[in-house]
């Protein structure tokens, strides 16, 4: 789909009813619902999207993230994704799907337009400043900016001194470029699991580090997993606490593929990362030389026990080929020294994302704990009437984003109609 240049759609002098920021699953769901509620595209509402084409964050995901490796993409309202070839990269499938949705509904999407700030002009109007210098005025804002633009890398001592390569999930394109390298993968989510398996297959020597035992679950993800995330996270956001990560809400399902990875040792966490040296990393846990398997959490421990469902179990962690042990730091008084250092070429931070909300900072939304206090409807920001967050926290899944988008559109239209009852 050809991008709609911002210059073709000058921002009107009168405030719009709604500006949707972001055209991922959440923003498109909201935009479709605004249409169904009778708002006129371009005249009453627009969608400003920072991408140069349809697809939201999916547009940028790595090629090996095929549809069958994803948790599942929920349909946008009123249009089925149908059953595309599961082996096709999800980035392509979803971009095409969103593009079709935009053009069939003739949604007023303008791109690429990056919103730099949203401020209150007065009690009834927001002012939105875009990176092309233009101002948009609107009565309500549906913010659907996702997380992809806010990769999170935790701080560890020595991180700035490391001379090898560091990259985040966001920059991962293909495992093949790491063949023969020693790669530390940090993070306890499904992205980390998929990277580890792909890197191993591509001939990299991997080490997995998690802060605590991985959160394996014997429950399988089905079409309701997004709803479960929603329930688990909304309890926090109504208190203004930062949202939980997806894995903290659902756990890691032991699929056949992951079970094989557990059995081979590729998916055995070697413990938490303690510090980074210029050429390696110091971990705290079983060494790379074939020690006993540390607890991987109750579900995996049961599977890995001798005679467990992992057929023969796993008694010792496999020695790590390509790694050499160096003396670690002394353990605390009376504790065995469990730290070890291993040379590392690359650190892959599969450590997640944070909500991309910087452009909302003039509205001072953040609570002390760093979260945004949400109403019980899951989309209204308690402190700022007329502002809706979708795809945030509880709705950060395609099913959650779809439902939240619809809810926010209904709420925004109700707000506008209450203020301008002649509509
Ligand atoms: P996004 O898709 O990120 O869309 C946000 C849009 O806003 C983008 O187009 C962006 O360019 C735009 N934008 C951002 N900032 C600005 C700005 N300041 N101005 C203008 N535009 C802006 N969920 C599932 O349901 N199933 C899965 O299989 C699944 N797999 C995932 C895999 C990974 C690696 C990750 C990170 C997440 C996954 N998720 C999955 C969760 C996923 O994030 C959501 O499902 C959903 O796609 C997010 O939709 P969204 O509309 O909230 O955000």
pLDDT, tens digit, 9 for 90 and up, residues 87-106: 899 999 999 999 999 999 99
116: in domain: yes
**Any atom of ligand 1 within 6 Å of the Cβ of 71:** yes
Between 6-10, 218-222, 416-420, the lowest mean confidence (pLDDT) is in 6-10
Decide if 279 is inside a domain.
Answer: yes
The reply to whether the predicted model has a pTM over 0.85 is yes
In a domain, 227, yes or no: no
**Is residue 344 domain-shared with residue 285, that is, in the same domain?**
yes
Nearest CA to ligand 1 atom 9: 56
| pLDDT range class, residue 300, cuts 50, 70, 90 | confident
- Could you tell me the pLDDT band of residue 226, with boundaries at 50, 70 and 90? low
Cα 148 to ligand 1 centre (Å)? 6
Report if residue 389 sits inside a domain.
yes
Closest ligand 1 atom number to CA of residue 22: 7
Residue 359 and residue 276 in one domain: no
50 lines ligand 1 (CB under 6 A): yes
What is the reported pLDDT for 159?
97
Whether residues 328 and 206 fall in one domain = yes
Q: Say if ligand 1 is within 6 A of residue 405 CB.
A: no
More confident residue, 252 or 51: 51
Q: Is 298 a member of any domain? A: yes
Q: pLDDT of 266-282, one tens digit each?
A: 999 999 999 999 999 99
Query: Last residue of some domain: 349, 374, 393?
Result: 349
| CA 131 and chain centroid, separation | 24
57 and 122 housed in the same domain: yes
Please indicate whether residue 205 or residue 249 has the higher confidence score (pLDDT): 205
Q: Answer whether 271 contacts ligand 1 (Cβ < 6 A).
A: no
pLDDT bin (cut points 50, 70, 90) of residue 1 is: very low
State how beta strands 16-21 and 135-143 pair: parallel
> Crossing angle for the helix pair 398-419 and 225-237, nearest 10 degrees?
50
- The CATH number linked to 391 is 3.50.50.60
Structural domain count, the chain: 2
How close is the Cα of 248 to the center of ligand 1, in Å? 18
Confidence of residue 285 (pLDDT cuts 50, 70, 90): confident
Under a CB-based contact definition with an 8 Å cutoff, are residues 388 and 413 in contact?
Answer: no
* Distance between Cα 146 and ligand 1 center (Å): 4
The finding on whether 4 has its CB within 6 A of some atom of ligand 1 is no
Atom of ligand 1 nearest to the CA of 50: 21
- Between CA 358 and CA 352 the distance in angstroms is 17
Mean per-residue pLDDT, 47-64: 95
373 in Cβ contact with 238 (< 8 Å): yes
Final residue in a domain of this structure, among 324, 349, 374: 349
Q: Looking at the structure, tell me whether residues 35 and 69 fall in a common domain.
A: yes
260 C-alpha to center of ligand 1: Å? 30
Atom of ligand 1 nearest to the CA of 395: 52
| Residues 331 and 360 occupy one common structural domain | no
Average pLDDT over residues 360-379: 90
Q: Which domain holds residue 279?
A: 165-218+254-349
The answer to whether residue 241 sits within a structural domain is: no
Query: Are 183 and 269 found together in one domain?
Result: yes
Phi, psi of 56 (to 5 degrees): 55, -145
Same domain as 187, residue 61: no
> Do 91 and 198 have their domain in common?
no
Q: Give the gyration radius of the chain's Cα atoms.
A: 24
Q: Are residues 176 and 136 in the same domain?
A: no
Q: Which atom of ligand 1 is nearest to the CA of 115?
A: 19
Give the separation between CA 164 and CA 148, rounded to whole angstroms.
Answer: 24
Q: For position 412, what pLDDT does the model report?
A: 97
Q: Atom 23, ligand 1: which residue's CA is nearest?
A: 397
Residue indicated by tokens 């090898």? 164
User: Do both 320 and 371 map to the same domain?
Assistant: no
Residues 97 and 125 in one domain: yes
Give the residue, 3 or 175, on which the prediction is more confident. 175
Is 401 inside a domain boundary? Answer: yes
For the stretch 25-35, pLDDT in tens is 999 999 999 99
Where does a domain end: 313, 328, 349?
Answer: 349
Asked, for residue 231, whether it belongs to a domain, the answer is no
Q: Choose between 331 and 378: higher pLDDT.
A: 378
């Amino acid at each position: 789909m050809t991008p709609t240049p911002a210059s073709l759609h000058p921002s009107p002098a009168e405030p719009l009813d709604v500006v949707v920021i972001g055209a991922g699953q959440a923003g498109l769901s909201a935009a479709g619902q605004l249409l169904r509620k009778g708002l006129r595209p371009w005249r009453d509402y627009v969608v400003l999207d920072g991408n140069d084409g349809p697809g939201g964050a999916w547009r940028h995901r790595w090629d090996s993230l095929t549809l069958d490796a994803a948790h599942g993409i929920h349909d946008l309202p009123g249009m089925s994704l149908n059953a595309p070839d599961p082996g096709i990269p999800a980035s392509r499938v979803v971009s095409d799907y969103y593009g079709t949705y935009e053009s069939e509904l003739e949604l007023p999407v303008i791109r690429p337009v990056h919103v730099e700030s949203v401020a209150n002009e007065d009690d009834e109007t927001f002012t939105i400043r875009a990176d092309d210098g233009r101002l948009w005025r609107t009565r309500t804002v549906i913010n659907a900016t996702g997380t992809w633009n806010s990769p999170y890398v935790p701080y560890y001592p020595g991180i700035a001194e490391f001379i090898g390569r560091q990259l985040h999930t966001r920059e991962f394109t293909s495992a093949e470029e790491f063949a023969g390298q020693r790669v530390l993968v940090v993070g306890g989510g499904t992205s980390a699991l998929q990277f580890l398996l792909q890197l191993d297959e591509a001939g990299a020597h991997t080490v997995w580090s998690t802060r605590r035992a991985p959160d394996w679950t014997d429950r399988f993800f089905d079409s309701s997993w997004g709803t479960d995330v929603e329930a688990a996270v909304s309890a926090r956001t109504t208190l203004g606490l930062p949202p939980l990560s997806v894995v903290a809400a659902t756990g890691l399902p032991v699929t056949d593929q992951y079970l094989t990875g557990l059995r081979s040792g590729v998916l055995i966490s070697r413990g938490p990362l303690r510090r980074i040296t210029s050429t390696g990393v110091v971990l705290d846990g079983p060494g790379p030389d074939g020690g006993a398997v540390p607890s991987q959490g109750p579900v995996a421990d049961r599977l890995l026990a001798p005679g467990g469902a992992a057929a023969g179990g796993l008694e010792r962690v496999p020695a790590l080929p390509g790694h050499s042990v160096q003396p670690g730091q002394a353990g605390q008084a009376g504790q065995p020294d469990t730290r070890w250092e291993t040379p590392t070429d690359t650190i892959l931070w599969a450590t997640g994302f944070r909500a991309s909300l910087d452009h909302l900072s003039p509205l001072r939304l953040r609570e002390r704990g760093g979260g945004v206090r949400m109403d019980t409807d899951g989309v209204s920001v308690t402190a700022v009437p007329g502002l809706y967050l979708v795809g945030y926290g509880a709705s950060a899944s395609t099913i959650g984003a779809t439902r939240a988008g619809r809810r926010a559109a209904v709420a925004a239209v109700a707000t506008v109609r209450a203020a301008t009852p002649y509509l």
